[in-house]
Chains A and B, each alone.
Chain A
């Protein structure tokens, strides 16, 4: 399964959707507000400019018409200058320009700043206006230019008005609106997160309940009447838990009952086989061999039933560890001595010779015994057992000289009834049972430790089983060696 990214979570997705939604909405509103404000301000400015331009136009016409036909060109030029500089109104700061054919243009702007397009338009319309952006060396501001063509007088009158002030107002407005949109998006994201959290709260409750149940707490139930729509989910969840609990209890009881029922015939068998063994010498050869078979398989049968019971206890969550504190070296010496390979050597660093651990002795003994048995079955016998303390943990290592465990099998061999290297594992007469290593894993898990298998570190063939246990709470050098 591919790993899920954080943004694939429901909470993240809802939050992002809210943020994007509010960003879109606030952007539209901001854009509309800006456009409306821009048009409004521009048209107001323009109307005022046009009104003044019309008045000034009338002034220009009357002045030009009133000019004496006998005046010299010089006098006329002075009159034009006087008209442009003093008579026209410049209430809005517009710069006038008068161009009379045959005279130098007079005014505060150059004729070259008047766009050709406007001049062209004046060929058809007596009055025209347009906006344009001024050259960069003039500050690059937006300009409004108005033109009037007095055809009968052979004159043109222009006014150029800077819209720079208006533009900077609009720039400020745009900044404010962008900021507002950004804040609105953040607020949207926060709202989205909050409401998603609220909407997801029941899901969180369900997942917490599921986790509690997975941990074995079958009393966990979801409360009803939290939300009528969620009650459907809650009640089917509760029904599922009930069904699961009943089924698990039935399975557990079955395993437990079967094991108990098996104990009675096993007891009779054990006692009877023992009588046979005592009298073995008086039996014919073939019967003696039969008794040996009986003995061996009876032992295996007993172990199988014991392991099954142990597993069913673990499954039922009914295991109580009987913790005690003891010296590990002495413990392992005893475990090895009672195992099927009492000759195995025990190694440990000298500093750990008095290392004490707190654990369930019986279960830890079963762990080590099972590892030794496993080494015998599949690894040609254990070559050595060692332990050493690493921080707050102790590692117990059992190595063998078998073919090792294939990388793919290294997790699987701790499953029930599975065996390392299915082909290799089935060779020989001793087929064993596949519960030994799974019990090892369960016991170690109950102790809060880990178990794993690797290749031997010394480069030789063979498997290396490592059990790592917390040392447990006790004072160091606290344990007296039992004599």
Chain B
């Protein structure tokens, strides 16, 4: 069985066309026309990647995203109408890992999915040693983070972000570098992806997310992991 993509889209023609194009790219596609159908489907058989249109009748895309995120760390891609509204940030806050704006090229979507799965399989930092920073203990091989010997539940994207920062503690990583290494974007990735994920990461690893001890902002430059 191949990689399964759950596509949540209420417009039937779009759903069918996207499904057709994704199947051409070699993915297995499960379709859902409503948020309820999507949640039922995911409960029955969790997909490997979820693609959610924000504008859905009934349960909206944000809520679907939050529900799935509560149950799973599966990669989620939001589809938004436009990139400069608060929809993007709201979608990311709801737990999405990445976003696309309509109309997107299914080829681009495939590239994003591949980038996410590569990240989820945790292939790149495979040769990394266990890293200890303060109370944090990061095991890249096992995909696990412990704080005071207690395991933290990070999504795959959050984990990848933390590992990237931990690869050189104290070094400042620009948003561009993080976008490239964590999300697989070229130079023109959206810096808000990094900002929102850093914020979410802090709620999990910091004692007080408002005044972070580990994931520190370097004004105008980017982020670093404080050794």
When the two chains form their complex, are residues A334 and B188 in contact, meaning their CB atoms are under 8 A apart? yes
Chain A residues contacting B186 (CB-CB under 8 Å) are 334, 338
- Enumerate B9-23 residues with CB–CB distance to A below 8 Å: 11, 13-14, 17-18, 20-21
A482 to B192, CA, bound (A): 17
Contact of A271 with B14 at beta-carbon distance under 8 Å, contacts A309-B82, A322-B192 already known: yes
A325 to B105, CA, bound (A): 29
What 0/1 readout, one digit per residue, does chain B (37-80) give for beta carbons within 8 Å of chain A? Answer: 00000000000000000000000000000000000000000000
Chain B residues contacting A320 (CB-CB under 8 Å) are 84
**Looking across the interface, which residue of chain B has its beta carbon closest to that of A475?**
B220
- Determine, out of A146-154, A180-188, A259-267, the stretch whose residues face the partner at the interface: A259-267
A267 to B11, CA, bound (A): 10
A266 CB contact (under 8 Å) in B24, B84, B103, B175:
B103
A268 CB contact (under 8 Å) in B13, B83, B105, B188:
B13
A263 CB contact (under 8 Å) in B81, B107, B192:
B81
A313 to B84, CA, bound (A): 10
- Among A266, A275, A334, A475, residue most surrounded by chain B Cβ atoms (within 10 Å): A275
- Enumerate A246-280 residues with CB–CB distance to B below 8 Å: 260, 263-272, 274-275, 278-279
A260 to B101, CA, bound (A): 11
A263 to B21, CA, bound (A): 17
- Enumerate A452-483 residues with CB–CB distance to B below 8 Å: 474-475, 478-480, 482-483
A271 to B13, CA, bound (A): 10
- Enumerate B169-209 residues with CB–CB distance to A below 8 Å: 172, 174-177, 180, 186-188, 190-192
Query: What is the size, in residues, of chain B's interface with A at 8 Å between Cβ atoms?
Result: 33
Task: With both chains docked as a complex, state the minimum distance between the C-beta of A337 and any C-beta of chain B, in angstroms.
Answer: 8
Chain A residues contacting B83 (CB-CB under 8 Å) are 362
A324 within 8 A of B: yes
Chain A residues contacting B210 (CB-CB under 8 Å) are none
A271 CB contact (under 8 Å) in B106, B187, B220, B222:
B106
Chain B residues contacting A338 (CB-CB under 8 Å) are 186-188
- Among B175, B177, B188, B192, residue most surrounded by chain A Cβ atoms (within 10 Å): B188
Contact of A275 with B14 at beta-carbon distance under 8 Å, contacts A319-B84, A482-B176, A482-B187 already known: no
Chain B residues contacting A480 (CB-CB under 8 Å) are 172, 174, 221-222
A365 to B186, CA, bound (A): 13
Contact of A271 with B191 at beta-carbon distance under 8 Å, contacts A263-B103, A322-B84 already known: no
Chain B residues contacting A266 (CB-CB under 8 Å) are 102-103
When the two chains form their complex, are residues A264 and B188 in contact, meaning their CB atoms are under 8 A apart? no
A302 within 8 A of B: yes
Chain B residues contacting A309 (CB-CB under 8 Å) are 82
A361 within 8 A of B: yes
Chain B residues contacting A267 (CB-CB under 8 Å) are 11, 14, 17-18, 102-104
Chain A residues contacting B177 (CB-CB under 8 Å) are 482-483
**Looking across the interface, which residue of chain B has its beta carbon closest to that of A363?**
B84
Instruction: List the count of A-B residue pairs having beta carbons below 8 Å apart.
Output: 90
Chain A residues contacting B180 (CB-CB under 8 Å) are 482
Contact of A268 with B221 at beta-carbon distance under 8 Å, contacts A319-B84, A338-B188 already known: no
When the two chains form their complex, are residues B187 and A268 in contact, meaning their CB atoms are under 8 A apart? no
Chain B residues contacting A326 (CB-CB under 8 Å) are 176
- Enumerate A349-368 residues with CB–CB distance to B below 8 Å: 361-362, 365
Task: With both chains docked as a complex, state the minimum distance between the C-beta of A365 and any C-beta of chain B, in angstroms.
Answer: 6
B175 CB contact (under 8 Å) in A260, A272, A324, A334:
A324
- Enumerate B147-166 residues with CB–CB distance to A below 8 Å: none
Chain A residues contacting B188 (CB-CB under 8 Å) are 334, 338, 361-362, 365
When the two chains form their complex, are residues B105 and A270 in contact, meaning their CB atoms are under 8 A apart? yes
Contact of A478 with B20 at beta-carbon distance under 8 Å, contacts A334-B187, A362-B83 already known: no
Contact of A275 with B21 at beta-carbon distance under 8 Å, contacts A268-B14, A478-B220, A480-B174 already known: yes
Task: With both chains docked as a complex, state the minimum distance between the C-beta of B30 and any C-beta of chain A, in angstroms.
Answer: 17
**Looking across the interface, which residue of chain A has its beta carbon closest to that of B86?**
A320
Task: With both chains docked as a complex, state the minimum distance between the C-beta of B63 and any C-beta of chain A, in angstroms.
Answer: 21
Contact of A302 with B103 at beta-carbon distance under 8 Å, contacts A309-B82, A322-B191, A478-B221 already known: yes
Contact of A274 with B103 at beta-carbon distance under 8 Å, contacts A324-B175, A365-B188, A482-B187 already known: no
When the two chains form their complex, are residues A274 and B106 in contact, meaning their CB atoms are under 8 A apart? yes
When the two chains form their complex, are residues B24 and A278 in contact, meaning their CB atoms are under 8 A apart? yes
A60 to B49, CA, bound (A): 142
When the two chains form their complex, are residues A271 and B84 in contact, meaning their CB atoms are under 8 A apart? no
A313 to B13, CA, bound (A): 28
- Among B103, B104, B187, residue most surrounded by chain A Cβ atoms (within 10 Å): B103
When the two chains form their complex, are residues A482 and B174 in contact, meaning their CB atoms are under 8 A apart? yes
Task: With both chains docked as a complex, state the minimum distance between the C-beta of B117 and any C-beta of chain A, in angstroms.
Answer: 20
- Among B13, B84, B188, residue most surrounded by chain A Cβ atoms (within 10 Å): B84
Contact of A271 with B174 at beta-carbon distance under 8 Å, contacts A309-B82, A475-B220, A480-B222 already known: no
When the two chains form their complex, are residues A324 and B191 in contact, meaning their CB atoms are under 8 A apart? yes
When the two chains form their complex, are residues B221 and A271 in contact, meaning their CB atoms are under 8 A apart? no
- Among B11, B17, B106, residue most surrounded by chain A Cβ atoms (within 10 Å): B17
A19 to B192, CA, bound (A): 65
Task: With both chains docked as a complex, state the minimum distance between the C-beta of B51 and any C-beta of chain A, in angstroms.
Answer: 12
Task: With both chains docked as a complex, state the minimum distance between the C-beta of B11 and any C-beta of chain A, in angstroms.
Answer: 6
Chain A residues contacting B172 (CB-CB under 8 Å) are 480
Task: With both chains docked as a complex, state the minimum distance between the C-beta of B133 and any C-beta of chain A, in angstroms.
Answer: 21
A365 to B220, CA, bound (A): 19
Contact of A271 with B20 at beta-carbon distance under 8 Å, contacts A263-B102, A479-B220 already known: yes
- Among A263, A271, A482, A483, residue most surrounded by chain B Cβ atoms (within 10 Å): A271
A266 to B18, CA, bound (A): 12
B220 CB contact (under 8 Å) in A265, A270, A325:
A325
Chain B residues contacting A265 (CB-CB under 8 Å) are 13
Chain B residues contacting A474 (CB-CB under 8 Å) are 220
Q: Which 5 A-B pairs have the closest CB atoms?
A: A482-B176, A271-B17, A334-B187, A267-B103, A271-B21
What residues of chain A have their CB less than 8 Å away from a CB belonging to chain B?
260, 263-272, 274-275, 278-279, 302, 309, 313, 319-320, 322, 324-326, 330-331, 334, 338, 361-362, 365, 474-475, 478-480, 482-483
What residues of chain B have their CB less than 8 Å away from a CB belonging to chain A?
11, 13-14, 17-18, 20-21, 24, 81-84, 102-107, 172, 174-177, 180, 186-188, 190-192, 220-222
Q: 5 A-B Cβ contacts within 8 A?
A: A274-B105, A275-B21, A278-B24, A279-B24, A478-B221
